[in-house]
Chains A and B, each alone.
Chain A
Amino acid sequence: EAGVTQFPSHSVIEKGQTVTLRCDPISGHDNLYWYRRVMGKEIKFLLHFVKESKQDESGMPNNRFLAERTGGTYSTLKVQPAELEDSGVYFCASSPPVLWANVLTFGAGSRLTVL
């Protein structure tokens, strides 16, 4: 079974540019989460999709971040325009429906460096 895949693994952009991160969850996993880890800090929740619906987006830092999951399969996270403080590792995770929804499988992360 394929795991959670993320692309790109590393992106270096300049302040003000746009970056789009992609996540392909495990097939059949209705739940898809985005998390971010800034150097040395906790893995911080950004948002949660159940299928194509945003269940909880309370962790999204501001309106420069836009997440989508059209069709309930893969998800994208767009940062536009990027700021220096957006640098970090963005993790995607997925989990099965309800009963095991909090048993997450993570992707390897997309490291974003904003210069």
Chain B
Amino acid sequence: GENVEQHPSTLSVQEGDSAVIKCTYSDSASNYFPWYKQELGKRPQLIIDIRSNVGEKKDQRIAVTLNKTAKHFSLHITETQPEDSAVYFCAASRRPSNFGNEKLTFGTGTRLTIIP
């Protein structure tokens, strides 16, 4: 089955600086890579995702890059703000099908702290 590794487990950055979180995956058939943000006591929320037909996707201050050859993908947050403090999870899955093999496999999470 799929195995997703995520680094670092904790990350502290000064407000205004950039943060980068990296993930690797093992299943070459995986083609969907979402990132979830979980604030304290709240539900994990999808913040950005990328499919394997593109190498980069951007949404305002967040971006995700994907290297299918190396089987790794990264989350980049620029101009960090205190409200970016949260736990971030990467995940990977295959294409949905009638066989139901699209379950997400998650990384272990990165606790990001933005220092004011």
Chain A 3-33 interface residues, beta-carbon cutoff 8 Å to B? 3-4, 33
Question: B64 to chain A: closest CB distance in Å?
Answer: 15
Interface of B is mostly: loop
Q: Is B45's CB under 8 angstroms from A102's CB?
A: no
Q: Is B101's CB under 8 angstroms from A108's CB?
A: no
Q: Which residue of B lies closest to A92 (CB)?
A: B43
Q: Is A108's CB under 8 angstroms from B4's CB?
A: no
- Beyond A42-B6, A43-B44, A108-B42, 8 additional contacts (C-beta under 8 Å) are A41-B108, A42-B89, A43-B106, A45-B104, A91-B43, A98-B96, A102-B96, A102-B103
- Convert A62-80 into 0s and 1s, putting 1 for each residue whose CB lies closer than 8 angstroms to a CB of B: 0000000000000000000
Top 8 A-B pairs, shortest CB-CB distance: A55-B100, A101-B96, A102-B102, A43-B106, A108-B43, A102-B93, A42-B108, A106-B43
A55 to B100, CA, bound (A): 6
B105 CB-CB contact with A under 8 Å: yes
Residue among A4, A43, A99, A106 with the highest chain B CB neighbour number at 10 A: A43
